[in-house]
Amino acid sequence: MSELNLILLGPPGAGKGTQAERIKADFSLLHISTGDMLRAQVAEGTQLGKRAKEYMDRGELVPDGVIIDMITERIASPDAGDGFLLDGFPRTEAQADALGAALAEAGTALSAVVLMEVSDDEVVRRLAGRRVCVKNSAHIYHVEFDPPKREGVCDQDGARLIQRDDDQEDTVRRRLEVYHEQTAPLIDYYEERDLLLRFDGVAPVDQLHVRIRATLASVSMQQRM
């Protein structure tokens, strides 16, 4: 199977993390979560990590150039031989331009951009309904889709369930405003470049996975022709 270089795009709460794990396993891709990558580089004390930490220590955003340098270094590693799945970057058209130029310089290019489409109301329904155990944040419930046996109480350890601050409805809607303002323009950006693949993010998880896998298998086959 040929190399697949992908971007995963969609609003917060679209289920990108769930599908990312499945896509990564299906095609043996290197999953690059820019937040995880940045934290790892800082923790390991790499040269790029030290550069990033200087900005972070001053409370500033890490410049796009540093993030792109980390990405290009990462995709040059042996475990990216079958391709990569980029999650969390780019977020703006300027970042997309810079990423495209960096990939071209590295002798590669994007294969496709996987867009998971979910309405704002559905995002709010998903995120504002989440409840998390105060004792173990890995114990997560949903008031509608996966409620605990006793309201407000964790099934596993009996601790209290809370709604995280970033799951409050007003916070979720602010995050959506930022997405529509900064990131949603990438939909047209990549559609104009014939890279965009649209999927209904409201479809059942397993059905959505099957559709994405079949479509990407076709993209991979076309690249080999």
224 is catalytic: no
Radius of gyration of the chain (CA): 19
Q: Which of 91, 135, 198, 211 is catalytic?
A: 91
Q: Would you tell me how many other CB atoms lie within 10 Å of the CB of residue 54?
A: 11
Cβ-based neighbour number of residue 133 at 10 Å: 21
DSSP states along 73-136: HHHTSGGGTTEEEEES---SHHHHHHHHHHHHHTT----EEEEEE--HHHHHHHHHTEEEESS-
Phi, psi of 163 (to 5 degrees): -100, 120
Whether 164 is catalytic: yes
The catalytic residue among 22, 39, 53, 175 is 175
Report the alpha-carbon angle 51-54-56, nearest 5. 110
The amino acid at residue 115 is L
**Catalytic pick among 16, 24, 125, 131:** 16
Q: One of 74, 125, 126, 130 is an active-site residue; which one?
A: 130
C-alpha angle with apex 162: 161 to 167, nearest 5 degrees?
A: 135
175 noted as active-site residue: yes
Cβ–Cβ under 8 Å, residues 66 and 1:
no
Indicate which residue of 160, 164, 174, 193 is catalytic: 164
The answer to whether 198 is a known catalytic residue is: no
Query: Mind telling me the catalytic residues?
Result: 16, 91, 130, 164, 175
